[in-house]
Structure 1
Amino acid sequence: MTSPELDRRPIRILIVDDDPMATAGITALLNTAEDLLIVGSRSDGSHVVEAVRQLAPDVVLCDVRMPVMDGVSVVRALRAHAATPAVLMMTAFDEDGRVLDAVAAGAAGFLLKDEDPYRIVNAVRHVAAGDSEFSPRAARQLTQWVQDSRTADARRDAMEKLAQLTAREHEFALALVTGASDAELAAQFFVAETTVKSALAGIKTKWGIRNRTQLAVVVARSGLA
């Protein structure tokens, strides 16, 4: 059984962003939550692997574009190590589709830098708990990026994956692209939240993917959502 002391351990966060103003803003925001602890920050992706070894963060909040080593390379480098924290990508609204590579590499999700503060704080909590996260606004951006970069082969592969699903799984998969949470999907389809979680877990197993953000990319490539 987990001790009460461990249950109360704050979520440890490492911020990676080459913009000092962005780092200061995110730090100030996350410091308002008692269950979150900023353990450090880095302005260059090339220092992240060593920082993770030293600071043992639960979550890495990482900018997409940085000098020397960008966020995509950070995700790939961290995935090569056993004790890997969840990586939540942060990107500007006008960022290009580079974040898709980070999702494919294993990022737990992404948010836009000007998201509602409440959503950013909760996103950190969610990815620390093993979930993935992308907001409705980020979902719209994700869909646009995927549509802009979609090829005929990618669409065909996505359609084949969707054909593997049950009718209920298919409904949940299409609805997920809106950025809805499990609770919101449950309310939309008048089912228990556990039903949604079970269905999404089944989809990820069938498709061999890690998280709901990657699931959303597949659905967006199909052109059906």
Structure 2
Amino acid sequence: MKVLKLSTQLHKWVALVVGLQILFWVGGGLVMTAIPIETVRGEHRAVEFKPEPLELGGLPALGEIARRAGIAPVEAELRATPLGPAWTLQPETGEPVVVSAVTGRPFGPMSAGEASVFAKRAYKGEAGVSRAVLLNTAPEETGRTGPLWRVDFADREKTAFYLSPATGEVVTRRSGVWRFYDFFWRLHVMDWNDGEDFNHPLIILTTALTLSIVVSGFILLWIRLSRDLKSARASRRAKSVQ
């Protein structure tokens, strides 16, 4: 009986403490399984970017581009961007530098109109652009640093495309669906700051306490089933004697 009483008390009080978080886990799990991850990422709103083939013969050599940019790169990548062909030059120390593959200089500043045009080309849907604004600091939801153009679309999902001011490329997409999902993800991993840490001490402790609820619940179930079986056997014996 002591085991039964101890298991009952443990089950009751621990469940009271962690019950709300268990609700968040189950609710968050439902949200994360019910909403396709492609929808969360906004892939259904993205047009695949198909760059035009680069005419390498008409471009200066990498050495000349590096000289004009004043950089001795340890890595270099050439790609097509909405603003034109660009080299990304990685110096030995510091951040990568993006320059025009034609001039060897950074592209000129983008206007709100240009950002809207580039975002619209990358957007799949009928909604128009409702706003385009240059943010000097990247919002936390982008997981990026540095300035970004944010272009909002007037659709029911409140889709926002974030563009690189250096190249006009869409670096990430966010929407009301993503923010709804992110809210439940943070509840699920118990990291209300940025949702990145899912093995911190608090969640480990809560998971251990939840395990104790399950174990104590099985103990209670076993004890009560055993007691019911004994009662049933005693009842059958009593009837057979009669």
- Judge same fold: TM > 0.5, yes or no: no
TM-score bracket for the superposition, by shorter chain length = under 0.3
Q: Which has the higher contact order (CA 8 A, sep 6+)?
A: 2
TM-score (norm 2): 0.22
Query: Of the two, which has the highest radius of gyration?
Result: 2
Report which of the two has the higher share of helix.
1
